[in-house]
Amino acid sequence: MNEDEHIPTQKAKKLYQACMNTQAIEEDGLKTMKEVVQAIGGWPLVEDDNWDETNFDWIQATFALRDLGYPFNIFLTVLPNADKLRVRVPFSGSIEELYDVFSRRDHQVKNIAQAFGANISNISGELNDLHQFSDKMRKQIEHGGLISYPSHKISEIQNNIGMINWDDFIHKLIGSTLSISSEKYITIVEEANIKKRLQTLSETPKRCRRNCSTNCLSVKSLDQFFNKDVELLGIQSNYFAAKLAYEAYRLWIQTN
């Protein structure tokens, strides 16, 4: 880089060099993810007996992910749709991803957990519990043959599916951008599956729930860092590209 070059040219070259410094980007991205994981309740797979389940709540962890700007639609999702909100079990458009089992991705889980500091020789039991839980979750998908779904007020949803505080859940996830009154009608997609999902969550130990949600978050966010030849689905590739660009730019800002 020449000192007599125009300042915009120098900055462009510095940004390019920062983007090419993949090791620094990976280290910075991993550091950020570790901080996020701790902020949402830690990771039992990594922390082993040191993990404290006392204060863990999957709903509060969902809110935290949403506030931090990370993927939060892991167990349930609330989506705007035209003039109505839709509540449903998360559903992927990819059949391959939908029916994929965690056992086929063990190497990814282990790679990421090891990068976080886990002793991977002691996690076979945890992975087995994770597989069984994930299989149950995977069977709770939508599309029971219905073309349209009923809409209810929040109070009606609370009466029909009273396992969580729906008013709080919906308002926290949609944020302040949408105004939802108690009289607003919300579409419930496959109510039976939502009930099954909530029932499964209530019956599953906190440790397994935490492992599942943290693993999903980590795989979505850090897949490419630790498995260069993995076949990423489009949505994951797009997320990684956006994350990579953000981390590269942030790294450049910090060093200039």
Helix (H) or strand (E) holding 10: helix 7-20
Q: Which residues, 6+ apart, have CB-to-CB distance to 174 below 8 Å?
A: 78, 80, 85, 180
The predicted pLDDT at position 29 comes to 63
The predicted pLDDT at position 180 comes to 76
- The tokens 């007020």 sit on which residue? 153
Instruction: For the chain, give every domain's residue range.
Output: 7-254
The predicted pLDDT at position 159 comes to 93
CATH topology of domain 7-254: Neutral endopeptidase; domain 2 (1.10.1380)
The predicted pLDDT at position 252 comes to 39
pLDDT tens for the 256 residues of the chain, in order = 566 665 555 555 554 454 445 555 455 567 778 888 888 889 999 998 999 998 899 999 999 888 887 778 889 888 876 567 888 887 644 334 444 545 556 777 787 788 888 888 888 888 889 888 888 887 777 566 677 888 999 999 999 999 999 999 998 888 766 777 777 889 898 898 899 999 999 999 999 999 988 888 876 665 544 443 333 333 333 444 445 444 443 443 344 4
Q: Which residues, 6+ apart, have CB-to-CB distance to 38 below 8 Å?
A: none
The predicted pLDDT at position 253 comes to 37
Q: Which residues, 6+ apart, have CB-to-CB distance to 236 below 8 Å?
A: 220, 223
The Cα-based distances of 112 to 23, 95, 172, 215, 238 in angstroms read 16, 24, 30, 9, 20
Between CA 5 and CA 247 the distance in angstroms is 26
The predicted pLDDT at position 124 comes to 84
The predicted pLDDT at position 251 comes to 44
Between CA 24 and CA 26 the distance in angstroms is 5
Record the pTM. Answer: 0.72
Main-chain phi, psi angles of 37, to 5 degrees = -60, -40
Q: Which residues, 6+ apart, have CB-to-CB distance to 242 below 8 Å?
A: none
